[in-house]
A = this chain, B = another copy of it.
């Protein structure tokens, strides 16, 4: 069992428990509450909160109750994005993780509203700090999350992804690799992983290496998305134009992925050089999740 597997076995149930506890208090309305829980507590991997917690532990810091709660906020954002992405006007997916998607089960209006409530709720979680000393950290987390989940990150990426979907093979020539990586993959997928990684540095009070963790999260995130597209292509389920394997082929996509994995490793090496207490084993295991 890898360090990461042990870590996931220990912390994923705690993340789920934290999410359920906060969701139970997220609204006065029973139906809205049930729909929000349906959207979040559906067997997600919790990759983003776990990444934050892994960064904290890699610095030898204790994961406190406050840190666990703060780390869970990004999952509210990730969950809302899935609910809104599934909507008929967006990707029109009626299934999510083997069950009906939120709008398929509860209707389109509720799909929009559940997403709005989860998005808003993420900031309720982050601003609910019991300990006075880390007020500035909380505000910095909110500043980072609002940028990377919004117009500088996820929403920006989704706007471009919609443009991408609206393209056809005929005008596919307009889509370059650089555009796909910088305008879709990076903001849509890597941005929240960048936030999650950076949040770990903030919560562990390791600001001097925050930029390296930003670099790690960004490179990990882009590699993660490329792998996802490679897997889809291999399963022959990919009928969409405008993915990296579609444009440059599987082999060149693997090379791109490995290039980003290497950048992520370099970021970890840099942190190891700078911070004596830093153990890169756990975060290296995150990189090992990606590959052939």
> Which residues of chain A have a CB within 8 Å of any CB of chain B?
26-29, 31-33, 36, 84, 87, 89-90, 107-113, 115-117, 119-121, 123-124, 126-129, 132, 135-136, 138-140, 142-143, 145-147, 149-152, 155-156, 158-160, 162
**Which residues does chain B contribute within 8 Å of A126, judged by CB atoms?**
142
B90→A27 contact, CB < 8 A? no
B112→A127 contact, CB < 8 A? no
A113→B27 contact, CB < 8 A? no
Across the interface, name the chain B residue whose C-beta is closest to A103.
B89
A151→B119 contact, CB < 8 A? no
Tell me the complex Cα distance, A194–B162, Å.
Answer: 37
Closest chain-B Cβ to A115's Cβ sits at a distance in Å of 8
Tell which of B28, B142, B151 touches A152, judged by Cβ atoms closer than 8 Å.
Answer: B28
Tell which of B132, B142, B156 touches A28, judged by Cβ atoms closer than 8 Å.
Answer: B156
Copies of this subunit: 2
Given the interface pairs A90-B109, A127-B139, the reply to whether A120 lies near B32 with Cβ below 8 Å is no
Given the interface pairs A29-B159, A139-B139, A159-B113, the reply to whether A124 lies near B108 with Cβ below 8 Å is no
A152→B27 contact, CB < 8 A? yes
Q: Which 10 A-B pairs have the closest CB atoms?
A: A27-B151, A120-B150, A89-B108, A124-B146, A127-B142, A127-B143, A123-B146, A117-B155, A26-B151, A89-B109
Across the interface, name the chain B residue whose C-beta is closest to A84.
B112
Across the interface, name the chain B residue whose C-beta is closest to A123.
B146
Tell which of B90, B124, B151 touches A121, judged by Cβ atoms closer than 8 Å.
Answer: B151
**Which residues does chain B contribute within 8 Å of A152, judged by CB atoms?**
27-28
Tell me the complex Cα distance, A119–B26, Å.
Answer: 17
Pick from A126, A132, A150 the residue with the most CB of B within 10 Å: A150
